[in-house]
Amino acid sequence: MSKEISEGHVTTPAGFSAGAAAAHIKYPDRLNVAVVVSERDCTAAALFTQNQVAAAPVLVDKETLRANNRRIRVIAANAGNANACTGQPGLDNARATQQIAAQRLGCQPEQVLLLSTGVIGVQLPMDKLRAGIETAAAHLSPKNGLAAAQAIMTTDTYPKHLAARVELPGGLITIGGMAKGSGMIHPDMATMLAVLTTDAAVAPDVLDGALRAAVNASFNRISVDGDTSTNDTVLLLANGASGVEVADDEAMGLFGEAVTAVCAKLAQMIVKDGEGAAKFVEIQVTGAAGDADAHAIAVTIATSPLVKTAFAGSDANWGRILAAAGRAGVPFDPNQTALWIGAESVDELQLVRQGTPTSYQEADAARIFALPAFKIRLDLGAGDGRDLMWTTDLTHEYVSINADYRT
């Protein structure tokens, strides 16, 4: 695939623009309302949190897309208030937000999708939100993709955005993306939000298939703290402004690979910006009886507080890794396990062979665990199943951030 990933934005694809405003929702003097607008109707696909306590914008977006996944024009987003656990007033406010955005941007309410992130259990300050949307809508520009990425941040320390240009059989298309997420990150879907846009012409069913595959290989492979948000949402809009159709098998395959690549980069940015995180760790599980078994073990290791605190302390306490694997509910023979750690190469240093420690030097293992990014591979010696997770260490700073989040 001819693909070039750049420092672009959600407005890099043709026909998209954005605006942002500081509406003083929780965060003073900081961008916290954004609109992303297409100049033409978009097909749309979306995936949402699996948490049964779903926020009002999630419920309203699902309702909207059931009725209309071919004529979406606007995404209206806010940070600082999740509009979650807010009952009927929260649903009413979400629908009112659609109306406000539609009136200001010249479309219908059913053409507006919503994103919210922030404090749970507080009603949206609608006067502030209305003013923010009106200001953002008055400053629409293709150059405001960065501002939109900044406006959806909560505890993030930097905006997460990129773009990819892809050569399809019918010509060149662009995919843009932005995401937010730092804490409350865990499958199913990583609190995380993501918006992807493309100027390719893509049917809704093809768009949905590409997004599902991409999310499974990216946002469903990351964990910071083991918590799944009430608001997790990934949206993908296609406006066809390039004139290039994704219609045949080759184009679908190339398009799907590109969407996955964009999602994977954004997902890794979220992990690297995890609350209080100092280390980015890739956990690979191989040699399982099946991929599902490998996934269960990788998730258990990635979310183990003991493993993550060992990462934080640069302590190559590999016993915690095997202990976590052993409680994942997956049968395997401990005497067949092997474990490697490394930086560029996962096989740089073998710590365990056939369930027994090797003669490695503790200082060498500690040096790898002290790196800002490293990899772990656990092989179970039972089959061809494999999976991976991206995770972080668990530091004092994570506790401090979340102890003070509402104050």
pLDDT of res. 190: 43
Alpha helices in 138-200 (DSSP H): 145-151
At residue 352, φ and ψ (nearest 5 deg) are -135, 140
Q: Closest Cα partner for 246 from 235, 261, 257?
A: 257
Q: Is the peptide bond before 293 cis (omega within 30 degrees of 0)?
A: no
Residues of the chain with pLDDT > 70: what percent?
90
**CB-based contacts of 300-303 (< 8 A; 24+ apart in sequence):** 300/324, 300/325, 300/327, 300/328, 301/325, 301/328, 301/376, 301/378, 301/389, 302/223, 302/389, 302/390, 302/391, 303/186, 303/223, 303/225, 303/226, 303/391
Cα 171 to Cα 12: distance, rounded to the nearest angstrom: 16
pLDDT digits (tens, 9 = 90+) for 259-307: 999 999 998 888 877 666 678 899 999 999 999 999 999 999 998 989 9
Q: Is 385 in a helix, a strand, or coil?
A: strand
Predicted local confidence at residue 184, as pLDDT: 47
* 203-260 per-position pLDDT tens digit: 999 999 999 999 989 888 887 655 556 788 999 999 999 999 999 999 999 999 999 9
**What does the pLDDT read at residue 1?**
46
d(Cα 163, Cα 259) in Å, to the nearest integer? 10
DSSP assignment of 288-323 equals ESSHHHHHHHHHHHHH-HHHHHHHHTT---HHHHHH
**What are the strands of the beta sheet with 222-223, ordered from one edge?**
222-223, 385-392, 280-288, 373-379, 338-342, 349-353, 356-357
Query: What tens digit of pLDDT does each residue of 118-149 get?
Result: 888 999 999 999 999 999 999 999 999 999 99
Q: How many CB atoms sit inside 10 A of residue 288's CB?
A: 25
- DSSP 8-state class, residue 355: T
Distance CA 98, CA 60 (A): 9
Residue 188 scores a pLDDT above 60 = no
Q: What is the band of 400 on the pLDDT scale with cuts at 50, 70, 90?
A: low
What is residue 182's predicted lDDT score, i.e. its pLDDT?
A: 61
Which are the contacts of 4, defined by CB distance < 8 A and separation ≥ 6?
Answer: 164, 165, 166
pLDDT of residue 271: 81
* Full DSSP string of 185-200: --SS----EEEEEESS
pTM of the model: 0.84
Sign of the torsion angle spanned by Cα atoms 24, 29, 30, 35 = positive
Residue pointed to by tokens 């999630």 = 58
Active-site residues, by number, are 191
| Residue 328: pLDDT band with limits 50, 70, 90 | very high
pLDDT of residue 345: 65
The string of DSSP codes covering 39-58 is EEEEEEEEEE---SS--HHH
- 3-state class (DSSP) for residue 161: strand
Q: Which domains does the chain have, with CATH numbers?
A: 3-270 (3.60.70.12), 280-403 (3.10.20.340)
